Structure 1
């Protein structure tokens, strides 16, 4: 039987930072394989044969296939399963070939040094993710942890964020973590422009309290289905905006015409209403929102997108629509027990046309469908599952959004 390879995580402090178990594995190993930098961290006291592997993942895989059947340790940086080589090797070579002994990740150390939780942070490695993609994800994050590279330094990251008007983060650069030369530098993003840091660093960003997401650009990119991040969104309620893929389906089901009268009930910061106004350009789209913060963001979004047919309405439905003209199309988005009552009231005002309701709760789905059928609407139900691809190492993984139920009624 082929001997298992132990993938042992090691930190910047080398052998001194290893557990007793990890040290015993290294002491018993007859072969140690790793990059030149990692091999240097274990010093020269071990008698094992050393195999340097400084190429990519494919080269490492080939080197493993040629290893002698001897006790072997493969050195990895930090936690081998956290943006490390272990995921790739266990998937391509097989889990049975390896045992994994993790070290504390430098990402974990960085968040500990700045005294911030990382359980809900956006974490990424700029060695395997495009900077533009990472910047777009940072825009809406509360906390961020980044492994930078020698070419994409903290200064480059800061410049990319500032170029896109993402200025609302406190920034930290944590260098040489776990070593006597450990340094943590704090500042705003502008203070990092042009600064040089050790290649061994982690960049941590913490959103300033109450800062709203800024849009990624000042220009519309599509008639409808624009990316979520082109709209101003409120904090901490971000995520309530109707995702672009769901917006596309909902707007199609509303069957809007250029002269349609539309109600968007619970419009939030206005993403769907703005795109509906782009289609119903000679009609009217009444966007009803009771929350003052979201209403103000809707005004700003509407100004940026230049949609004269949009009419923002600050108030609570159903009282807010009492003076509005009867609609040809209605969109209702939201949660809570009030949704079926809002649908019932809106349906009573419709002589004909289409109503689309977006809910996330199966209970609301059943209740809304019953309301529409009682009002003699023909109903259809869709469950929309969206997963967006993200590049990780040399492959694509998918990040799922919460499922959305769309109830469509026609009269």
Structure 2
């Protein structure tokens, strides 16, 4: 059986093909391809069929073409986010022979004079925009095949919505054709513009810029300074301290897509940092004090987290209707903490973790007893923190009140949460 020839072709048409590719094309008894590719071989005597983006139609046509030399014309490099990858996976590599042309991605990087060996390359036809935007956050360079559903302006807006504002953008349109155009600008400028559907978008990180917007300089994924959060002045000091918060978040074992409850959220410091870690998940900040509830929303806006949902009400009634969590943080100082912990633990998904933060020996004993009975095992940490304070020519340490963390895991195996 003759192999099906998959030949990459550019906007320069047949003239841009190698001699070997032209010979294979000349021997074709049937040519399949998109309308633009077929226009380049209009004078070829073989029958032609426009298959557009219908890959299943290509499969059916190949299977029906018995005893006929089939050539498939594809744009650029057919193995680079192209037709050949799909066909080889579907029908087997042995059925095909691939002759690549220069990819439009290669042309785009050449036009902007940037190397692409260290770039994150992908197509929005196969990857969701949300995922691509998050992967771009830590990339040095990004090369994107955009789509009608996710054009350059939508990509730029998605990045800006996440505070990713540190890229120079190049939109390379109609590469290799007479009306080729390369537009350079900032993300804010690209949001305002329309481009040809045939484009490649390149992002190049500006020199010396961290993985965060300028407005977030000094802000951390977790362990932010206490003063970074808005707090009720009369109750100032009840915020979970940065050091305790960091340990508690580590013990919660939050994944990227986790669902988290923060019971007794206060002004929301734990909730906000949990939301930053669970960027593709949801965090429910449950608080019965209306003033603190308002502060949670204000702090969430301050940190730019959109996956945090403040819930006003008293637990356990306030968590009715909420999705079962992968992780729960419970903070409190009253005798009611024991009952909250007991009821909250039953809401955990199998394999989920609960961390309770208490400040008294009595609450430690009560909560530990409840969790030991429910989980069979607990981990207890006593945290003593002293912060250095310069006084004249001497360094003195100011101690925070000791606090306790009790950690328990609900049996049932590892939860099915994305841990990447």
1:310 and 1:151 map into 2 onto residues whose CA distance is 53
* Aligned residues of 1:170 and 1:207 also touching (Cα < 8 A): yes
> Which residue of 2 is the match for residue 32 of structure 1?
31
Question: What's the C-alpha RMSD, in Å, of the aligned pairs?
Answer: 4.1
Q: Following TM superposition, by how much is the alpha carbon of 1:214 offset from its aligned partner in structure 2, in angstroms?
A: 2.9
Structure 1 residues 229, 195: closer, same or farther in 2, change over 3 A?
A: farther
Indicate the residue corresponding to 1:396 in structure 2: none
Counterpart-to-counterpart distance in 2, 1:175 and 1:65: 35
- Counterpart of 2:142? 144
Matched with 1:5 is: 4
- Can you give the 5+ residue segments of structure 1 that lack an aligned partner in the other structure? 232-250, 260-277, 285-308, 315-320, 330-352, 355-383, 389-399, 402-411
**Could you tell me how far 1:157 is from its partner in structure 2?**
1.3
Change (3 A) 1:229 1:221: closer
Change (3 A) 1:4 1:228: farther
1:279 partner SS = strand
Q: TM-score, normalised by structure 2?
A: 0.54
Structure 2 alignment gaps of length 5 or more: 222-228, 230-257, 262-270, 281-325, 333-353, 361-382, 389-396, 408-413
- Tell me, in whole angstroms, the C-alpha distance in 1 between the residues paired with 2:140 and 2:275: 23
- In structure 2, the partner of 1:16 is 15
In 1, distance between residues paired with 2:87 and 2:41? 26
How big is each residue's C-alpha offset from its partner over 1:181-225, in whole Å with a ceiling of 9 and x where there is no partner?
22111000111123121211100001112222239999x963597
Tell me, in whole angstroms, the C-alpha distance in 1 between the residues paired with 2:83 and 2:63: 15
Question: Residue 39 of structure 1 aligns to a residue in which SS?
Answer: helix
**Cα distance in 2, alignment partners of residues 312 and 141 from structure 1:** 38
What's the offset of the Cα at 1:174?
0.7
CA distance in 2: counterparts of 1:157 and 1:166, whole angstroms? 11
Change in Cα spacing, 1:258 to 1:128, as seen in structure 2 (3 Å) is: same
Residue 397 (structure 1) aligns with: none
TM-aligned CA distance change 1:58 to 1:310, over 3 Å: farther
Q: In the TM superposition, what is the alpha-carbon distance from 1:280 to its structure 2 partner?
A: 5.5
| Deviation of 1:313 (Å) | 7.2
The 5 Å alignment of 1:312-323 reads none
Structure 1 residue 78: deviation in Å? 1.1
Check the 8 A contact 1:173/1:185 in 2, yes or no.
yes
1:107 aligns to what? Answer: 105
Q: Equivalent residue for 1:206?
A: 204
Partner SS state of residue 83, structure 1: coil
Aligned length: 267
Tell me if structure 1 keeps the 8 A contact 2:169–2:185. yes
Distance 1:149 1:126 in 2: 6
- Asked whether the 8 Å contact 1:136–1:229 carries over to 2, the reply is no
1:281 to 343, 357, 365: 357
TM-score normalised over the length of structure 1: 0.55
CA contact (8 A) 1:168 1:207 kept: yes
Q: Does 1:62 align with 2:60?
A: yes
* Structure index of larger Rg: 2
How big is each residue's C-alpha offset from its partner over 1:284-309, in whole Å with a ceiling of 9 and x where there is no partner? 9xxxxxxxxxxxxxxxxxxxxxxxx9
Asked if structure 2 preserves the Cα contact closer than 8 Å seen for 1:5 and 1:72, the reply is yes
Moved over 4 A (4+): 215-218, 223-231, 256-259, 309-314, 323-329
Q: Relative to 1, partners in 2 of residues 1:27 and 1:212: Cα closer, same or farther, differing over 3 Å?
A: same
Q: CA deviation at 1:55?
A: 4.7
Please give the secondary structure, in 1, of the residue aligned with 2:212.
Answer: coil
- Aligned 1:243-282 pairs, distance under 5 A: 279=355, 281-282=357-358
> Given the superposition, is the C-alpha separation of residues 26 and 311 from structure 1 closer, same or farther in structure 2, using an over 3 Å criterion?
farther
Picking from 89, 94, 99, the partner of 1:91 is 89
Distance in 1 (CA, whole Å) between partners of 2:63 and 2:201 is 36
Q: Does 1:186 align with 2:224?
A: no
